Structure 1
Amino acid sequence: MNINAPGFRLEELYIYQGAMVLIFYTHGKCYQFCIRTRDGSVQENQYIFSTCEAACLAARESLISD
């Protein structure tokens, strides 16, 4: 993920239960999220969301279900 790419915008970054969550916006795919876990692995998905709030909610639900 290149955070300096045109059309990319980091919307939110937060830590939840030791995991780092990034919510980002791209012109081509709207809002998405990725999670960096405590062990350093990165969880990405191909889901897209129309709002930042929806992406945040999905990220939190993903963390809770793990």
Structure 2
Amino acid sequence: MYPIGSKVTIKSVDHLGRLQRPKRLLGRTAVITGHEDGMNEVALIHFGKVSIGAVRWMFNDSDLSAE
């Protein structure tokens, strides 16, 4: 798992299910905000700031790359 606060790039959304697979996330920069069940919780970065919206995404290490 990546440390909390690490900047990462989303490189795969295949685990999110066919109907929920938001391809718009590919290549986006995010920050690790927490961990749950061995997965990284991420928040997207918008205009240089971490998004404070309610949507949080969960990714495996293999779905992310460190910046």
TM-score (norm 2): 0.34
Higher relative contact order (CA 8 A, sep 6+): 2
Instruction: Tell me which protein shows more helix as a share of its residues.
Output: 1
